């Protein structure tokens, strides 16, 4: 059984993430999407909200499971019996960052490979940080997030 993990902050999940998840689900028997909350990064959405949005946005994909963890990416992969880490690349900026992370992870566990998928052109400028900024200024983000996530975000804006 070929298992991969797709780690990230998903604050919130975007259609760009969903595209990567759909494409990796075709390459692996199981894809575990994991919100890693071990960094100092402050999030706009709580862990529970981010997990709920992820589950909504990926409920149409059979071989995908969403969860969270507070450990290291490679340790989580090992625990799950996965030997691949999926990451998405939108630009040269992502490339440099992802190469560093992949090298560190390879150093920590050479049995686990990082697999990079290039962003679909239509999502290449979509990022969680851009969506967070738009939400702050009450802008319509419906073109960039799943429908259920959009509804949840709209309710959040009204709070
Ligand atoms: P992190 O904080 O670990 O970068 P993110 O949730 O921002 O987590 O992203 C998780 C992964 O998804 C990263 O590899 C990122 O490059 C990728 N990604 C983010 N947005 C997109 C997008 N629009 N298209 C393709 N990949 C993306």
Q: Is the dihedral of CA 106, 110, 112, 113 positive or negative?
A: positive
By C-alpha distance, which of 27, 24, 15, 25 is closest to 54?
Answer: 15
Provide the pLDDT confidence category of residue 32 given band limits of 50, 70 and 90. very high
Query: Residue 151 has what pLDDT?
Result: 86
| Contact residues for 101 (Cβ-Cβ < 8 A; gap 6+) | 87, 114
* Residues contacting ligand 1 via CB (< 6 Å): 8-10, 14, 16-17, 20, 87-88, 90, 94, 119, 123, 126-128
Reduced to 3 states (helix: H, G, I; strand: E, B; else coil), residue 96 is: helix
Provide the pLDDT confidence category of residue 89 given band limits of 50, 70 and 90. very high
Active site (catalytic) residues: 17, 41, 90, 128
Omega before residue 106 within 30° of 0, cis? no
């Amino acid at each position: 059984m070929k298992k991969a993990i797709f780690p990230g902050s998903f604050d919130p999940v975007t259609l760009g993430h969903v595209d990567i998840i759909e494409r990796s689900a075709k390459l692996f028997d199981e894809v575990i999407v994991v919100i890693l909350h071990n960094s100092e990064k402050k999030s706009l959405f709580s862990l529970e909200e981010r997990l709920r949005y992820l589950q909504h946005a990926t409920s149409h994909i059979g071989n995908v499971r969403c969860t969270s963890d507070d450990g290291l990416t490679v340790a989580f992969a090992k625990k799950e019996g996965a030997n691949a880490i999926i990451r998405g690349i939108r630009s040269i900026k992502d490339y440099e960052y992802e190469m560093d992370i992949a090298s560190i992870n390879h150093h920590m566990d050479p049995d686990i490979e990082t697999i990079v998928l290039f962003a679909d052109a239509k999502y290449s400028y979509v990022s969680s940080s851009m969506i967070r900024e738009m939400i702050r200024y009450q802008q319509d983000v419906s073109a960039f997030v799943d429908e259920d996530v959009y509804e949840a975000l709209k309710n959040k804006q009204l709070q």
